[in-house]
Structure 1
């Protein structure tokens, strides 16, 4: 029976969307995946990779040894890349398009989209973000995402009694209520590996990745292929904290 996420993915021949980044287990600084395996954290002077010697078989065969394992692995999948798979399903696209056709009654709050921020927030050009006049393309999609961070601690597990793992999640508020909070429709950009929760200052290293991507989505958008537009539709995003 698979006992880890890696073994589950391998056993069932699944594919994930994450790129694994090296991180410092002390200060939680995150580095690019292409960093040399001999690298140390410049803040803490700790090695980022586990040292691993060359075995006899590798020496005799002349084969290059595999990359050493990371001491602190951080899986990352930016929202801008997750949207491509999200909109590949026709139901998601049609649900978002339905919201754009739904009239908003002032003073009536039946959806997060009825709140003050979605109704009054401005786009990068100064016009109302969700006003049709602000769209740069006729079939452009404007999204509101809510962001949250939660931690999971397996208190009754013998092998992880004190290990806490965190997940950052995006929820697409434009979706119909029955779709909005389904697990399959929640987008996970970063997994915080633990074993303990980072301090507030350390958490900023993860949030910077999230915010930089959100700013790009807000100002430039991203073009993704959808069932009705195989040539691609532009997506722009506005966000709030849950």
Structure 2
């Protein structure tokens, strides 16, 4: 079965802060609220009117489908080898990526480093002009596959109902009649710029990634896949609790077929992973500069920081209420139920054919 691919927009964790957000802040574009007796009849102006279309009803039960199969992401070693043909070129790209990710060197400074080194290496005839180094950090991020894997969904700023990414720009929340997208009145915009306006950004949005997708990346890192299977062969001593697999829940929880989920002797090589869930409201100080706050997370394998799987982040600055949080939890729980009831085929380095 071919893996299901879903179009997504990224959260922009690695976006250049100096570039600005022109679409959000363009005063020429987002100038209309609602028509209030204005005599203008321009077709573009009419697009500023909020329409209560029948399309709202189809978003009531919006769900993010869980793919039946996940292809193996490219390995870090392969990405490194493919980043540049010259060994010293690869080292330069890796150095700049580390400077930005680890030491917060700005996009402009990284671009200056790349441009300078590229010019020097070409002048010394060490690097051919036909095979230059990239001169932007964005290119390095793409070559090393460092983009975030979230999908940005428009949400209602009042009730936090989640809508599809392709929802019409005139959509209103079916629960509270709140507008999802910024209003458009691009007549002035076109007059001054001569360009057509872009799709407006949502007023409120949330990044979401299903736990099944997070596990696909998790299983390709290091020895995670082997470690997740190690509990099958470990020895236990009655009365001694060494890790989670010694607990009663691990030994007594049943699978969808009512047989023990973790101790089934007929699991036929199937990998079964226990996932704990938590809500981290203490991330406010860390994420106070971001438009997203308070990540929901799933934790696996001894609660190591690198194994913290962030499934969604709710918009700040306040934490959502219990009813608002259910909109996010429903997507996560539905995905976990698919993993529990049916399972998903993952292609991993140890099982490229799928397991």
Which bin holds the TM-score, normalised by the shorter protein?
Answer: 0.7 to 0.9
Task: Give 1:53 deviation, angstroms.
Answer: 3.0
Deviations 1:22-41 (A, max 9, x none): 11111111112121111111
Partner residue of 2:297? 169
* Counterpart mapping for 1:39-50 below 5 A: 39-50=171-182
| Gap change, CA 1:218 and 1:211, over 3 Å in 2 | same
Counterpart pick for 2:306 among 176, 184, 187? 184
SS of structure 2 residue aligned to 1:15: coil
User: Contact 1:21–1:74 (CA<8 Å) still a contact in 2?
Assistant: yes
Select the structure of larger CA radius of gyration: 2
Name the structure 2 match of 1:147: 277
| Alpha-carbon spacing, 1:224–1:57, altered in 2? closer, same or farther (3 Å) | farther
Number of residue equivalences: 216
Question: 1:185 and 1:164 mapped to 2: Cα distance?
Answer: 21
Q: Return closer, same or farther for 1:58/1:219 CA change in 2, 3 Å cut-off.
A: farther
Q: Hey, which of these two has a bigger chunk of strand by percent? A: 1
Could you tell me how far 1:9 is from its partner in structure 2? 3.9
Q: 1:139 to 1:58 in 2, by over 3 A?
A: farther
Asked if 1:73 is matched to 2:201, the reply is: no
Relative distance call for 1:57 and 1:185 in structure 2 (3 A) is farther
CA distance in 2, matches of 1:7, 1:125: 41
> Which segments of 5 or more consecutive residues in structure 1 lack a partner in the other structure?
234-242
With over 3 angstroms needed to count, the CA separation of the structure-2 counterparts of 1:53 and 1:105, relative to structure 1, is farther
Q: How many Å separate the matches in 2 of 1:99 and 1:124?
A: 21
Which secondary structure state, in structure 2, belongs to the residue aligned with residue 51 of structure 1? coil
Q: Is 2:292–2:313's contact at 8 Å kept on the other side of the alignment?
A: no
For 1:117 and 1:223, how far apart are their aligned partners in 2? Answer: 25
What TM-score comes out, normalization by structure 1 length?
Answer: 0.80
1:6 to 9, 12, 15: 12
Partner of 1:56: 190
TM-score norm. by structure 2 comes to 0.56
Deviation at 1:148, TM superposition (A): 0.4
**Structure 2 SS opposite 1:33:** coil
What does 1:1-40 correspond to in 2, within 5 Å? 6=12, 8-10=14-16, 11=107, 12=137, 13=141, 14-40=146-172
Is this contact kept in 2: 1:88–1:226, CA < 8 A? yes
The answer for the alignment partner of 2:337 in structure 1 is 215
More displaced 10-residue stretch of structure 1: 28-37 or 38-47? 28-37
Alpha-carbon deviation of 1:154?
2.8
Alignment partner of 1:230 is 2:330: no
RMSD value, Cα? 2.5
Q: Which of 244, 247, 267 is equivalent to 1:112? A: 244
Tell me if the contact between 1:9 and 1:15 (Cα under 8 Å) persists in the aligned partners.
no
Contact 1:90 1:226 in 2 (8 A): no
Would the aligned equivalents of 1:149 and 1:166 in 2 still touch at CA under 8 Å? yes
